[in-house]
Structure formats: C-alpha cells, structure tokens
Structure 1
Amino acid sequence: MALISIDRERGLLIAEIEGLDKLWSLKSRLEIPLAHVRGATHDPGAAREPKGIRVAGTYLPGVITAGRFRRHGERLFWDVKNPDRAVVIELADAETYDRLVIEVADPRATVALIEQSVTRD
C-alpha cells in the first residue's frame, strides 16, 4: 500500500510505498511532477488487466502485483494487493512511467486530492 501526498511548494505528487511493499516493488518513494499528472481514477477492475512484462518487482497472480512492468510500449508501476483499493494515476510527459496503479487506504479521498491538485495547478 502507498500513501499519496501533494507537495505544492515543490509541485510534486509523492507516493510513499509502505511496509513490505517496498521490498516487493523495489521502490520506497516515487516523486512525480504535478505538471505530468493527467488525473486519477478509482479502478478496482485495473487488477484484471494484463500486466505485461515484469521488468522489476513481484507478481503472484491474485496475491500481489508490485514493481515495474511494460505493456504495449507503456511503462507501468504497480503496487496492488487488494484490487478494491486500486487507484490509477495517468501521467503525461513522464520520464519514468506512463501510469501508476497503486493501492491506497482511501481511494476516493486519494482521487479527490489528486484531481483537486491537478485542476488547481
């Protein structure tokens, strides 16, 4: 699971990967410029999508998807164990990822935070 926050001063969306997910995903923190964030949606169905090729991380079907994946030229970062809490963050002009699929404690609040930050900036 991850904790999503917005650093307005630096213009960043920050995803702090928590607990053992740091080990599974091989990441502890992602910092994405808000200018590259297109939007976010709560999407429990995203977990049923094909993951593509695992570049680095962990994939145990039905248990955990964490780390970097590539699918049809798209660069994805996953950190999901419970699909009901999955939030998809679409990125533009991204240097590292095109899309993040991240499990959060409160998907609706996270989407609202991201959408408010994107429309405000």
Structure 2
Amino acid sequence: MNMSNITIESGSLKVRLTFWEKVSSLSGNISIPMSHVRGATDDPTFLKDGLGLRAGGTGFPGLIAEGHFRKNGDRLFALWRKGEQVVVVELEGQKWDRLVLGCSHADSLSQLINNSL
C-alpha cells in the first residue's frame, strides 16, 4: 500500500498524500512552515486513548485514522493505519494543533523534523 510522502523542503514540512489518502481524509497535501513546527515525538502510546471526535475523514479505532479530529479542545490531523508507528508533530499558529502521522520509522522521522528546527 502506498503511504504519504513526508519531507522537509524549502523551509516547510510537506506531507504529500496519495489519491486514496486525500479521499479518506477529506484533505489535500499539507505544507507547514518550519517556523510553525514546535517539535516532533515518536509516540507509540499516543493513539491508546483515541483521537477524540472525528470531524471529517475516516476512522475505525485500532485500524485507521485519516482526517480531522478534535480532542480536549485541540484540533488534530491524523494520517495513520494499523501497523504504522506514530509521530506526533506539535504546531503553533496553524489550523491544527498537532499532526499525527503514521510511518515505518518514527524515530528517524521525528529526528529529521527536530534537527530541521
């Protein structure tokens, strides 16, 4: 299965979604200026308590979370499927407070993001 492509280029964190990710998340590609990224963590327990109320997108607990969620006043954008590790990207001054991204090497991705700050 194709996964989104997460990169840092031109001073921005870019998340390029596949066609089906765009459909299931009700969203398009994401570009966040690095000046609005506070940090990233490899967090295997983040999904344990759920993402909160789904406000657009696809969600089946424990299987898939793609789209917009609200939890405890925070706005989240999630792009995760069962079997993927979790990276949580803390944002400021954006329409989301956090990005919850699934990937195969969460430790490497979180280090890449943090080293780019």
Instruction: Confirm or deny a common fold (TM above 0.5).
Output: yes
Q: Supply the distance in 2 between the matched residues of 1:22 and 1:74 (Cα, whole angstroms).
A: 22
**Cα deviation, residue 69, structure 1:** 0.7
Partner of 1:57: 57
4+ residue runs over 4 A deviation: none
Q: Secondary structure at the match of 1:111?
A: helix
How many corresponding residue pairs? 115
Letter of the 1:107 partner, please give it: A
User: Relative CO higher for 1 or 2, CA cutoff 8 Å, sep ≥ 6?
Assistant: 1
Q: Supply the distance in 1 between the matched residues of 2:45 and 2:17 (Cα, whole angstroms).
A: 21
Partner of 1:28: 28
Q: Supply the distance in 1 between the matched residues of 2:80 and 2:98 (Cα, whole angstroms).
A: 13
Q: Secondary structure at the match of 2:66?
A: strand
Q: Which runs of 5+ in 2 are unaligned?
A: none
Q: Secondary structure at the match of 2:45?
A: helix
CA RMSD, 1 decimal: 1.6
**Cα deviation, residue 80, structure 1:** 1.0
Matched-pair identity in %:
37
Partner of 1:43: 43
TM-score, with normalisation over the residues of structure 2?
0.88
Give the number of the structure whose residues are more often helix, by fraction: 1
The Cα offsets for residues 21-77 of structure 1, whole Å up to 9 and x where unpaired, read as 222112231111101101111111111123221111011112101100111221100
Q: Is 1:13 the equivalent of 2:13?
A: yes
Q: Supply the distance in 1 between the matched residues of 2:93 and 2:75 (Cα, whole angstroms).
A: 12
Q: Is the 8 A contact 1:85 1:105 kept in 2?
A: yes
Partner of 1:91: 91
Q: Supply the distance in 2 between the matched residues of 1:77 and 1:65 (Cα, whole angstroms).
A: 9
TM-score, with normalisation over the residues of structure 1?
0.85
Q: Supply the distance in 1 between the matched residues of 2:48 and 2:22 (Cα, whole angstroms).
A: 22
Q: Is the 8 A contact 1:75 1:98 kept in 2?
A: yes
